[in-house]
Structure formats: C-alpha cells, structure tokens
C-alpha cells in the first residue's frame, strides 16, 4: 500500500489540523460502513484470541470499565492540578 496520497481535496492543506482529522475520520466512517470490505489483519485476530484466552484463564484480572474511567479521570485531575 502506498503511503503517498495521490490527490487531496481542494483547500485541504489550508484546513486547521482538527478539521483535517474530522475530514479523514468521516472518510474512514464511509469506508467502515461496509465492514465486510475492510480487511482485518491476522495479527488483530491473534490479539483478540489472546485476550479472550487471558479472560477465560483469569476472569478476576478484568477491571470494570467504570473503574478504569474513574481512575483515568482522577489521574487527569491530579495531573492538571499538580503539573
């Protein structure tokens, strides 16, 4: 797969970075809407199988998403107030 973009929409280079990201995200959303056409690399599948195996082997090692989110929020709050 080529890393060079053969063309860019007119005005794309002049957009602020956040708008460029939004534009690219909207393109990806259009591609992903037909998920059967998006290839899934074998290494992605291998990681999923590994994580499912780990979950089945040690179900108590799983941390609830709410707990993870709360910890991230606390860490961000601490970082913002104690740089």
76 belongs to a structural domain: yes
Give the model's pLDDT for residue 1. Answer: 53
13 belongs to a structural domain: no
38 belongs to a structural domain: no
Contact 62/55 with Cβ under 8 angstroms?
A: yes
Give the model's pLDDT for residue 7. Answer: 83
14 belongs to a structural domain: no
- Alpha carbon distance 63, 55 (integer Å): 11
Surface-to-core class of residue 23, CB atoms within 10 Å of its CB (0-12 exposed, 13-18 middle, 19+ buried): middle
Query: pTM to 2 decimals?
Result: 0.47
Please report, rounded to a whole number, the percentage of residues in the chain having pLDDT higher than 90.
59
Tell me the residue range of the domain where 74 lies: 51-83
Number of domains in the chain: 1
Backbone angles phi, psi at 5, to 5 degrees: -85, 120
5 belongs to a structural domain: no
CA-based torsion, 45, 48, 50, 52: positive or negative:
negative
57 belongs to a structural domain: yes
15 belongs to a structural domain: no
């Amino acid at each position: 797969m080529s890393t060079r973009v053969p063309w860019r929409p007119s005005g794309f280079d002049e957009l602020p970075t956040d708008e460029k990201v939004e534009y690219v995200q909207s393109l990806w959303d259009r591609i992903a809407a037909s998920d059967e056409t998006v290839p899934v690399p074998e290494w992605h599948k291998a990681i999923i199988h590994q994580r499912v195996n780990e979950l089945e082997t040690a179900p108590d090692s799983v941390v609830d998403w709410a707990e993870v989110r709360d910890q991230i929020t606390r860490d961000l709050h601490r970082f913002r107030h104690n740089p």
